[in-house]
Every structure is written in structure tokens, then in C-alpha cells.
Structure 1
């Protein structure tokens, strides 16, 4: 690759880190950029190299959120491990899934997310609602870790977005805290998929590490902006990313 190609990928990794830290969906930017610069890449190699950058970015986002928010590590760490295991399993079963059936299902779910966020303006906002019971909290977080973690290894786009909307809708947490919780689980799912892809020799390490540096920078800026600007800002970015995911997946499936 030439200097222009490297520049495109580093800028894309920076933008992906920012988006991923705020609402998830960084793969929406970085994976198409990889195929733009290197159209002969296999899907496994593109996904694997993206995961290397994403692990670095989500790690930085977790650290940034943890410095400003109290985090339930006794729950989130086991949930992150569960997400890693589920994601590895998802990555291992990629070849067994018929994407022509799978993608339309994801499109329907994304449209549903957009409708929920649009029609329920109070979702993810700071409210006086009582906190979820301990049992409900554990059930929702662990179920999300397994189900959405599996999806991340299997397919990937919008994993952080699905986690955020799950926590906001089912636990009543506001968007900033939902994003912080989502980053811990997303770190686990990214790491699980990366370990599997690395074991199969699909990671472009030099390129991935260079993109990881840019991804970290974007993630730090994005997480700080989410903390500073609050849930209203996250809600707007969430809607934009969901609509972009719908357009991209729709074009990929039907275009």
C-alpha cells in the first residue's frame, strides 16, 4: 500500500474509534475502508484486522469511562468473559450461517431500534426511575453478553449499538452509563473474536497495530465527548449510526 492508502485507513480508524466509543458501530467505517484500499482481502482478514484495532480502541474507552463513572466490575468482568467466549464461538461458526437469511433479520432489528429511540424520547435520558433489581441486572447483562457477543463474532456491525439500546430499554440506564457498560462487554467480544481469528492466521498485524493507535485516539476523544455532552448527544449519534447501518446493510443485501 502507498502513503495515500495508509492515510485513508488511519483516518478511518480514528473516526471508527470515535463512533465506537460513543454508540458502537465503528466497523461500519473501518471495514469498508479496508475493502476500499485492499479489495482483494478476504472477509475473514478484514474482520480480523478490524478486531485488532477495535480491541485497542475499546480498551481505551473502558479506561476513560471508568475514570469518571462507577462501574459494577463484579458483574461486568464475568459478563465480558462470557462475551469473549460467545464471540469466539460466533467467529468459529461464520461459515455455517446463510447470510442471505441473516442480514434481513438484522435489518429488521435495526429498524426496530431506530423506532424505539425515535418514539420513546425518554429512553436513555436521566430519569427518577428506580434502579433495576439485582436479579434483573444480572440476567439482562449476562444474556446480552452471550447473545450479542455471539453476534459480534459472527457478523459484527452495530454490536455496541445493540448493547446500549438493550441496557437503556431493559434496565432504564441512561445512554452514557449504557455506553460505558457496553464498552466492557464489547471489549470482551472483540478480544474473543480476535483470539479466534489470530489462531487461524487471518490478522494483518502491522496494519492492525497502526490502525489500533489511531483507533485509541478516536476512542479517547469519543468517550470524553459522551461524558461531557451527555445522553442527548449520544442519542443523536445513536440514531445516525443506526440509520447508516440500515443503509449499508440494505445496499449490501439488495443493491
Structure 2
């Protein structure tokens, strides 16, 4: 692990575990893990190495969470896999353009996205507390494929932070799922986006394979624990965790950006 100290590796593993837990409960673990990698990796490493390594780690935690949810959550697996397939292709396309990402503008952009998520959830207090029931209309189903599969999929390959959270919000808004079902569905879709982007980053050689497997073990443990807790506590718990995580990350990013 050249140029990465043991202390940094340990801290990155702890960040991976917490990111896995956050991802499993409500999505958005990349909002913790990607900044941690940007800070922890050597300063001369291009940001694409942080993006690629983030995908190699995150795909393990999301897979563990998806399997845990699929066993007990009210999940329409066929619909989730359809969206995931399209999202994987779109994510690969986004990853192909990731070299254009500027590290200096990444944190402010993440902060703006977080604030938008927080404002939306706060202003809609009943958002995701219960499913609407019934089968979504054809228009909504197509909109979900385009917005979630193509739009969010491409974003995940290009940048990634907050993808799980955006997936949950999109699934609740477009398909009228409750928060718990949306979170379970989001995990399946997120596995697809992670795999699509990881394939491109791997071919480009921008994954730190000497570090990623160790972090992946911690990410999987966090994903397993988070999914089990979300299943026990339900949609209300998922909503509260979303707001707490978003608030904490906004404060942290603002500190790094302006006061550190």
C-alpha cells in the first residue's frame, strides 16, 4: 500500500464500515466514503482513483445489503432488476467521462446535492411514510426507467456521492413506494450502477486493488448490519437516519471547504 500509512488505512476501513451501514439504511454512503478517499489518498493521485476505488468497495456492501433485503423485504425483484440493468449501462457511460471531474469542485457540488436532499425531505414530512398501493401507471414506470435508470445511473458513474439517497427519493416519488421498500429496491439498482462503473474504472486501471479488498470487508459488514436494522425499525427509522446523515455531512463538508 505505497504512500498510504497504516493509520490512514485503518481510518479508511472504518469509513468504509460506516458508509456500508449508511448505504444499507438509506443510501448515500459514498457521501462519506468518497470524501474520505479524496482526503486519505496521496495528494498526487488523480480523483479518478478515489472514484474507482470507491466503486470497488461500495459494490460489496450494496450487494450484501441487497441480498439481506431480498430475503425479507417487500421487494419487486423483477422491476428492480429491469431498472438495475439499464442503470448499469448508464453508469458505465458516466464512468467513461469521470476523468473530467475536477477535485476542487467536487466537494461544493456534493454539498449542494446534500442540501437539496435535506430540504426536500424536511418540506415533505409524509414523504415515504407509506406506500400508495397498486401498480404504478405506465407513464410512471417509464419515467422511473428514464430518471432512475438512465439519469441517476449516469450520475453514479460520473460522480456517485448520494446515489443511494437519490435512488430512494426517486423510487418513492415516481413509484410511490414506502421508504423501506424503496431502500430495498435502491440496493439492487445500486449494485448495477456500481458494477457498470467498476468495469470501466477497472479497464482504465484507476482502482487501488491493494487497498480496496480490505475496505470491502468492512463495507460488507456495515451493509449487513444496516440492512438488518432498517428491516427491524421500518420506514420511519430510515427517514430519520437520512436527515441525520445529510445534516452531519453538510456540516463536515462546509468545515472542510471554508474553515479547515
Which of 146, 150, 154 in structure 1 is aligned with 2:154? 150
Q: How does 1:83-232 map to 2 (within 5 A)?
A: 83-96=87-100, 109-126=113-130, 129-143=132-146, 144-232=148-236
SS in 2 for 1:126: coil
The corresponding residue for 1:37 is: 40
The corresponding residue for 2:237 is: 233
> Mean alpha-carbon deviation: is it higher for 65-74 or for 18-27?
65-74
Q: 1:72 to 1:21 in 2, by over 3 A?
A: same
The 2-side partners of 1:182 and 1:32 are apart by 22
The corresponding residue for 1:14 is: 17
Contact 1:84–1:192 (CA under 8 A) maintained in structure 2: yes
The 2-side partners of 1:73 and 1:190 are apart by 18
Aligned length: 254
Query: Where in structure 2 are there 5+ consecutive unaligned residues?
Result: none
1:167 CA drift (Å): 1.3
Are 2:56 and 1:82 aligned?
A: no
Q: 1:219 to 1:114 in 2, by over 3 A?
A: same
> What TM-score do you get using the length of structure 2 for normalisation?
0.87
> Mean alpha-carbon deviation: is it higher for 239-248 or for 168-177?
239-248
1:120 CA drift (Å): 1.8
The 1-side partners of 2:91 and 2:99 are apart by 14
Q: 1:51 to 1:125 in 2, by over 3 A?
A: same
SS in 1 for 2:161: coil
Query: Where in structure 1 are there 5+ consecutive unaligned residues?
Result: none
> What TM-score do you get using the length of structure 1 for normalisation?
0.89
1:33 CA drift (Å): 2.4
Contact 1:84–1:188 (CA under 8 A) maintained in structure 2: yes
1:253 CA drift (Å): 6.7
Q: 1:140 to 1:105 in 2, by over 3 A?
A: farther
The 2-side partners of 1:245 and 1:194 are apart by 25
